[in-house]
Amino acid sequence: MSEQIKKLAPVIWSEIQKANNILLCCHVRPDSDSVGSNLAMKLVLEKLGKKATLISGDDPPLNQLSFLPGFDSIKTSNFLNEVKNDEFDLFICLDISEPSRISQVEKFSTPLPIRTLVIDHHDTNTNFGDINLVEKKFSSTCELIYEIIEEVNPSILDSNIADCLYTGIWGDTVGFKSLNTTSETYKAAANLIAHGANFQKIISALTTMKLKFLRILGYAFSNAKQYFSGQVLITKISHEVFVGLNISESEIGEAKEYMTFYISQNEEAAVACVIYEYAPGKVSISLRSNNLSEFRDVAPIAQELGGGGHKQAAAGKMDANVDEAEKKLLKAIQKIYPNLGQP
């Protein structure tokens, strides 16, 4: 356990004890670490007798995570709509590196209009909270939440909280394969299993899919193209393709998770990219780097596109169609890594 956790975990716990009505919010395009850490924290807060509200934020949470305890309690609402009500006395901001990851519906400035605790593991975190616990070497925010619990109140951990935390750890490490996966990550996972985390159910839920998602995978595979002498692999999916396969806008995030996971398994590419149009004229680019023998940090590429993330997983979005987005992506890659040569 780090010295920073030992120092700040009691401070965070004290802030929670003083609060009565606490707000939690999933980040833009929430993944398993965002949903898992927020649901785990909500369960902890409720066990402490606190009123806790977890909102979805800009985008709906992945249906793929609907098996998690408390998933149905996630309120469909935007952060700015909630804080305008002025009923919360604390905002616990999990797995969010900067305010733009809270919401992109409207621009808002810091400090936020509510006392804010930031708990995160992103390299790009801007320390925008009143109290910031940022551990950049951690595999996931869920692992960080686990360590906080172990430091201040280990008896509060139960099977439901363990399910949520294990899910986020497994998802953000891509099945314990990321560079930030350590022996401590495995120890945390083992202890979560000992506390009742149903790892077989969790891994099955995160890796099995409906037929229409298998079909979008087939489309993504068959249309993938190599650039920079095979160092970069890109696949593009327009909104029309999603519609044609009966994948609704609320399911596109789940489809993206599958496509990104499997495209990034290509052994030749240093950078794997999924460009997808999640709404007409609205494109997101998901970047992965899983080839450790030809590793390329994808975070600077995402930052060049106005996004951010980790060395192995990052993303950005823009108003464009998929072809326009691909051109911008290729220019960004060439700028960040000129030694790759021409596309």
Span 59-76, pLDDT tens digits: 888 889 999 999 999 999
Q: Say if residues 304 and 329 touch (Cβ distance below 8 Å).
A: no
Q: Is 2 helix (H, G, I), strand (E, B) or coil?
A: coil
| Arithmetic mean of pLDDT, 80-101 | 87
Residue 186: which of 41, 178, 122 has the closest Cα?
Answer: 178
**Is residue 79 predicted with pLDDT exceeding 90?**
no
260 φ/ψ angles, rounded to the nearest 5 degrees: -65, -45
pLDDT in tens, 277-317: 999 999 999 999 988 888 999 999 999 998 888 899 999 98
**Is residue 252 predicted with pLDDT exceeding 80?**
yes
| Arithmetic mean of pLDDT, 258-265 | 94
CA distance 290 to 294: 9
Residue 264: pLDDT band (50, 70, 90) is very high
What does pTM read for this prediction? 0.91
pLDDT score recorded for residue 59: 87
CA distance 261 to 221: 12
Q: State how far the alpha carbon of 336 is from the alpha carbons of 91, 109, 228, 306, in Å.
A: 36, 29, 13, 14
**Is residue 77 predicted with pLDDT exceeding 80?**
yes
**Is residue 84 predicted with pLDDT exceeding 80?**
no
Percent of the chain with pLDDT over 70: 99
**Is residue 106 predicted with pLDDT exceeding 80?**
no
Reported as type and span, the H/E element at residue 62 is: none
CA distance 225 to 136: 33
Q: State how far the alpha carbon of 80 is from the alpha carbons of 39, 57, 83, 106, 127, in Å.
A: 20, 9, 5, 8, 20
pLDDT in tens, 160-187: 999 999 999 999 999 999 999 999 999 9
Q: State how far the alpha carbon of 7 is from the alpha carbons of 1, 41, 132, 133, 262, in Å.
A: 11, 19, 11, 10, 40
Task: Pull the structure tokens for residue 85.
Answer: 């009500």
Residue 85: pLDDT band (50, 70, 90) is low
Q: Say if residues 55 and 48 touch (Cβ distance below 8 Å).
A: no
**Is residue 104 predicted with pLDDT exceeding 90?**
no
DSSP 138-204: SS-HHHHHHHHHHHH-GGG--HHHHHHHHHHHHHHTTTTTSTT--HHHHHHHHHHHHTT--HHHHHH
CA angle 124, 130, 132 (to 5 degrees): 40
